[in-house]
Structures are given as C-alpha cells and as structure tokens.
C-alpha cells in the first residue's frame, strides 16, 4: 500500500494560518474583513481547493485590481515562507501515525496544494522529510484536489493503482475526490 498524506490540516496545524492569510493580506492594502464574517467564509471557501497561484489571481481580480497576480503571489509567498520555516507544527496524532508507518517500512508520499519548497522546509524542520519518497503538488500534477483525476495521477506517478492507496485527508472535497478515484480514505479532520 501507498500512504498518501495531505499536509495542511492533516499533518500540519496550518488551517488557521491559511484562514488568516487572505484577511491579513487584504488588511495590509486597506480592505478590512472581519474573521468569521460571511465575506471571510466566502473567501476561504473560494481559496481552499485551489493553488496559491490561482488564489493570488482571484484575489487580484476580486479585491486588488491595482496589483498583478504575480505581485499578490509574491506577497502571499513571503508570508507563507515565514510560517512554514518557523511556526507551523504537526498534529501529534498524525505525526505518531506517520512515524509508525515509517518505522514499519511503509511507502509514504505527500500530496498537497501548497508549493513543494514550503512543504520541504517544514518537513525538514520537524524531522520527517526523509520519510517521504515523493512530494506531489496540485500545480505539478495538473489537477486540483476536487478532481478524482488528481488522485489517479498521484497513483500513476507512484506506480500503483488508486485502490492501492490510503489517502489521509482533512477536507470534504478531497475526501470525496479520493473516494471516487477508488482510494481508501482516512478522514483526518482536526
């Protein structure tokens, strides 16, 4: 079996940071949206299933038309790099599961919507980077996690069938997509 770990919200306690990111970014540009408001929830629901690049393009179009998507992305990336490099921590229960799989010699890969360099710096900092035989990202794969094809492509690249994968995920849309793809899924919502 191939164990496929989502990182944000499954291994790392990073979802509060992802919720703050667009609000803090917009606030720095004079657009103040209260956390938990309908608008904040709408923004998070829009950004959650898409890549950082896609999110930057959407924020540029919807809120910051004077900034290019690239400028928004650069600002987002600077914020994210500090978080991943210094702050984000793993969930102890998921880390224990990951450790047990590693110690048992199981095959483990990561599959995330977050850029690989950010993931690599955090996984190295918490001492688990070498436990993963590969890190796949949605930009690299070419599908967002709302699509069963995303999980089928991970299986193809890892040399297994989707039904030979156990996917550890925290979001409803990714859980649904992995299930449709034929994977066994463990809901790791915290």
Per-residue pLDDT tens digits for 170-180: 999 999 999 99
pLDDT tens-digit readout, 90-123: 999 999 999 999 999 999 999 999 999 999 999 9
8 and 93 together in one domain: yes
Mean pLDDT of 129-144: 96
How many structural domains does the chain have? 2
95 and 68 together in one domain: no
pLDDT at 164: 98
Of 143, 147, 138, the C-alpha closest to 177 is 147
63 and 157 together in one domain: no
pLDDT at 172: 96
Mean pLDDT of 145-164: 98
Range with the lowest mean pLDDT among 44-53, 101-110, 155-164, 174-183?
44-53
> Which of 87, 105, 121 is the C-terminal boundary of a domain?
87
3-state SS assignment for residue 184 = strand
Task: Report the largest interatomic distance among the alpha carbons of the chain, rounded to a whole angstrom.
Answer: 52
180 and 98 together in one domain: yes
**CATH number of the domain residue 127 falls in:** 3.40.50.1000
Question: The pTM is what?
Answer: 0.91
7 and 99 together in one domain: yes
For residue 134, pLDDT over 90 is answered with yes
Q: Would you place residue 13 in the very low, low, confident or very high pLDDT band (cuts 50, 70, 90)?
A: very high
**Nearest-angstrom CA–CA distance, 155 and 161:** 5
pLDDT at 51: 87
* Residue 111: φ, ψ to 5°: -140, 115
36 and 121 together in one domain: no
164 and 105 together in one domain: yes
**Nearest-angstrom CA–CA distance, 190 and 93:** 10
The fraction of the chain above a pLDDT of 90, given in percent, is 96
Of 154, 151, 159, the C-alpha closest to 176 is 151
**Nearest-angstrom CA–CA distance, 110 and 129:** 10
* Residue 141: φ, ψ to 5°: -70, -35
> Which of 87, 112, 139 is the C-terminal boundary of a domain?
87
How many CB atoms neighbour CB 9 within 10 A? 22
3-state SS assignment for residue 181 = helix
**Nearest-angstrom CA–CA distance, 91 and 178:** 22
Burial of 63 (0-12, 13-18, 19+ CB in 10 A): middle
65 and 147 together in one domain: no
> Which of 41, 64, 87 is the C-terminal boundary of a domain?
87
59 and 96 together in one domain: no
Mean pLDDT of 1-12: 97
141 and 157 together in one domain: yes
What contacts 24+ positions apart, CB below 8 Å, involve 33-37?
Answer: none
Q: Which domain holds residue 79?
A: 15-87
**Nearest-angstrom CA–CA distance, 95 and 47:** 26
Average pLDDT score, the chain: 96
């Amino acid at each position: 079996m191939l164990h496929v770990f989502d990182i944000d919200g499954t291994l790392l306690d990073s979802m509060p940071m992802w919720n703050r990111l667009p609000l803090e970014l917009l606030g720095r540009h004079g657009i103040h949206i209260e956390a938990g408001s309908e608008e904040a929830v709408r923004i998070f629901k829009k950004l959650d299933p898409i890549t950082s690049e896609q999110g930057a393009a959407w924020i540029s179009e919807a809120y910051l038309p004077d900034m290019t998507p690239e400028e928004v992305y650069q600002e987002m990336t600077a914020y994210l790099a500090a978080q991943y490099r210094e702050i984000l921590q793993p969930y102890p229960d998921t880390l224990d599961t990951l450790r047990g799989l590693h110690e048992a010699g199981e095959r483990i890969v990561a599959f995330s919507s977050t850029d690989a360099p950010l993931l690599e710096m955090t996984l190295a900092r918490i001492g688990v980077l070498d436990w993963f035989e590969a890190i796949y990202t949605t930009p690299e794969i070419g599908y967002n996690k709302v699509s069963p094809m995303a999980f089928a492509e991970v299986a193809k690249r890892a040399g297994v069938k989707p039904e030979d994968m156990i996917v550890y995920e925290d979001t409803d849309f990714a859980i649904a997509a992995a299930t449709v793809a034929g994977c066994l899924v463990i809901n790791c919502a915290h």
